[in-house]
Structure 1
Amino acid sequence: MTEMRYTTLGRTGLDVSRLCLGCMNFGSEQPWMMNDRDASVDLVHEALDAGINFLDTANVYSTGESEEIVGEAVASANRDDLVLATKVYGDMREAPNGGGLSRKHIIDQCEASLDRLGVDYVDLYQLHRWDENTPIEETLAALSYLVESGRVRYIGASTMSAYRLTKALYTSDVEDCSRFVCIQPEYSAVARHEEENMLHVAEGEGLGVIPWSPLAGGFLTGKYEREADPADGTRGAASESVRSYFTDENWAVLDAIRTVADEEDATPAQVALAWLLHQETVTAPIIGPKTSEQLDDDLGALDVSLTEEQVLRIAAPKQPRYPES
């Protein structure tokens, strides 16, 4: 049985599991989601039993449904053992102040997330995107208020440019506001643009890195083939973003991953996750299993130790650049 490993989140003293359970699949907004509340709750319990203590969701995932499911799942768990993360920015209703990063929306949505999760505080509250219409000073002041009032323990950021991330960190220092402790970028063996963007800042500023889509929407599991259309019911069939990975360069990366998987008696998904875990900046990839089998397979990545040559071989077909196109 795989033994869970733990690390600290950035320069904090917060211990998190080396794999983070992503909860975007918990809900019914899209056909590729689990669409089964009981099965979702059971899967969270299995992850907790396996030693995962780090769960990531967002208010916009199925318009709050994901948070409700997570809240139901962790209700019987020891709150002190959990690291619960959620996000704010997206539109929760079609109305003025229904989205964005204003003080009003941030505080209102934090309260709503706490209600849906059934907890008194969240461990990590993250900006889902950058808000061009709200001064970063207002956003950081609102986040600092949430930290000072005990509703939030740490704050972080998701996708944005390195300039904006650096501006936010500088503003926090100048204005004496709470500071981001981590970032959540898209990062995988076929999505490496952040190596030329936010990851430079993360390394220099001591930020934790919790990559989303570490398996590129399932592309790196090896379930898709060059000459075949994605099977009905898969994310590849439903999502253009997944099919955007179907390039010659990315197929070459997958070929390398499959070869290494054969060498290590592992699955392509395990090797793809292990490749991320070998990156010094990465804290915990956010996995998104929908079945017990997928969860077990993801956990097996912790037992895969790659050589430096294998890591470089997987990286070789890609030339990181930002923006990606």
Structure 2
Amino acid sequence: MSTLLVTGGAGFIGANFVRHALEHTDHDVIVLDKLTYAGNLASLEGLPADRFRFVRGDIADAAVVGELVAELAPATDAIVHFAAESHNDNSLEGPRAFLDTNVVGTFTLIEAARQRDLRFHHISTDEVYGDLELDDPAKFTELTAYRPSSPYSSTKAASDLLVAAWVRSFGLRATISGCSNNYGPYQHVEKFIPRQITNVLRGQRPKLYGTGRNVRDWIHVDDHNSAVLAILDHGRIGETYLIGANGERDNLDVVETILELLGQPRDAYDLVSDRPGHDLRYAIDATKLHAETGWTPRYTDFRDGLARTIEWYRANEAWWAPQKDATEARYAEIGR
């Protein structure tokens, strides 16, 4: 593939994917991003102008999408679809934006892709499967039934089903990947790990929902993006691949580790009211991905990856500071 059209490429995972692709492949990259509050052009600064182009636009705008897709060659180019409204708290406060972007936007893209016979890769989430019990030894697999529990995860589930239907009905050359919780640089401070890191850096106490015992399966964003590239190269059309790195940690352990790495007492946090419908545990079985693509994660030591992430936020306050006050004001309004 010579050119990748990356939707949502100014967001957290998308921006890291763009950087990863430009560093580790020969692909050129076009980013299409609406630049909502979670998109940040500063995340794309310093990229090579001869291989990278940014276009501001809405993935639900068929005219904008059609114009960009017309530039792509079916035999060599691809669309990598990261763009999504993705924050559970926001989906509970205002679900409509999640329908517009995650469902209508995905429909617009796959229609354009099938008309040009383009390779399409759809980024999903493990949250479409709902949650697991804390004492359940099982993990999500590609055969796990969908059981979304929030407006966010239900709209992502809907977008997955649209892609799968377009593969079967129209021959769309698509793959889907579902990933566990990502961490790393350029993540908006509304998200769990950067919120706690930046709280401590500002001398404020981290906030934990409920008892802090909810479990997430953490993966470094670079590992997620290397897996996406592996699926583009080696994945079978019509298949779904789950991406995980065996990084299960409960939220309490994550916060205590952040505090320890920043030289603070491990109990210097506050418990706040839990989020409605808060999933208990996510865990991914990535056996299929390993077997079919040969992919393996690089960041197998969560503590080391977290320490590197902390250092990035410490060194890049100018990137996250403009977001911080507005984010905390919004959380204060809802008591979290």
Is TM (by shorter chain) over 0.5? Answer: no
Report TM bin, short chain.
Answer: 0.3 to 0.5
TM-score under structure 1 length normalisation: 0.32
TM-score under structure 2 length normalisation: 0.32
